[in-house]
């Protein structure tokens, strides 16, 4: 019996890792998120349809779910190291992509002037350029705070429709803030785990 347990532990140590697959999926996910964010900027500036972006988010959610399963198996099969980075990373990205999808769907519902959408478009442009596993999102949180300040200084809406669209825009900004805070929280937990 002890020989069997010893062999099982030895096999566990030398079991091939899914590390390359997880790292590859991580890179694909980050590249596609950047692409969606960049395309979203174009759609916002040119008033284009956003439904393709919703489908792309759904595809990323499928990739995340598959990667999350592999990460869980990797963590469960490794008795000597308690490395849950990939599990936590893909959980965080799942929340972010779900929020991004909600943002896109909310943007589909509202009709605002380009001057009102410029702040959000600028944030997404920065997001498309800086989105990475090592980025803590603090620069984006500052941009979001500036956007809140900008919107507070704008003239009040004159019609019910304008009010509803501005309220929708505010909801988009709140969802965007949650998306970035999720990354910030993850980055801080990584820093604390490294300590």
Structure pTM? 0.85
Q: From the DSSP assignment, how many helices (H) and strands (E) are in the chain?
A: 7, 0
Q: What is the pLDDT of residues 38-64, one digit of tens each?
A: 998 888 877 777 889 999 999 999 999
- pLDDT at site 9: 43
DSSP annotation of 137 reads: -
CB 120 within 8 A of CB 103: no
- pLDDT at site 14: 44
- pLDDT at site 17: 66
Torsion from C-alpha of 86, 91, 97, 99, nearest 10 degrees: -150
CA–CA distance, 68 with 95 (Å, rounded to integer): 12
Q: What is the pLDDT of residues 161-184, one digit of tens each?
A: 989 988 999 999 999 999 999 999
Domain positions in the chain: 2-194
Rounded mean pLDDT, 3-26 = 63
- pLDDT at site 189: 85
Q: Which helix (H) or strand (E) holds 97?
A: helix 85-109
Q: Which helix (H) or strand (E) holds 120?
A: helix 114-130
Q: What is the 3-state secondary structure (H, E, C) of 76-94?
A: HHCCCCCCCHHHHHHHHHH
Rounded mean pLDDT, 89-113 = 91
Handedness of CA 19, 25, 28, 33 (dihedral sign): negative
Q: Which CATH superfamily is domain 2-194 in?
A: Putative aromatic acid exporter, C-terminal domain (1.20.120.940)
- pLDDT at site 75: 76
Cα atoms found within 13 Å of the Cα of residue 130, Cβ hemisphere only: 16
Q: What is the pLDDT of residues 111-128, one digit of tens each?
A: 877 677 888 889 999 988
- pLDDT at site 60: 95
Residue 135 confidence class, pLDDT cut points 50, 70, 90: confident
Q: Which residues contact 83 (CB under 8 A, 6 or more apart)?
A: 74, 75
- pLDDT at site 13: 46
**6 has pLDDT over 50:** no
Residue 68 confidence class, pLDDT cut points 50, 70, 90: very high
Q: Coil, strand, or helix at residue 178?
A: helix
Residue 2 confidence class, pLDDT cut points 50, 70, 90: very low
């Amino acid at each position: 019996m002890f020989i069997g347990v010893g062999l099982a532990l030895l096999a566990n140590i030398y079991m091939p890792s899914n590390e390359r697959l997880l790292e590859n999926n991580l890179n694909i996910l980050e590249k596609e998120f950047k692409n969606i964010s960049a395309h979203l900027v174009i759609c916002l500036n040119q008033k284009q349809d956003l439904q393709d972006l919703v489908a792309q988010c759904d595809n990323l959610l499928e990739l995340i779910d598959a990667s999350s399963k592999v990460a869980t198996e990797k963590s469960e099969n490794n008795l000597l190291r308690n490395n849950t980075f990939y599990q936590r990373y893909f959980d965080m990205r799942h929340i972010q992509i779900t929020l991004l999808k909600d943002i896109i769907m909310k943007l589909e519902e509202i009709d605002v002037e380009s001057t009102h959408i410029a702040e959000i478009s600028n944030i997404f442009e920065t997001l498309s350029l800086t989105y990475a596993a090592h980025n803590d999102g603090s620069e984006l949180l500052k941009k979001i705070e500036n956007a809140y300040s900008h919107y507070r200084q704008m003239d009040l809406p004159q019609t019910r429709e304008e009010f509803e669209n501005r309220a929708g825009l505010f909801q988009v900004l709140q969802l965007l803030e949650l998306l970035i805070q999720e990354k910030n929280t993850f980055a801080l937990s990584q820093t604390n785990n490294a300590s």
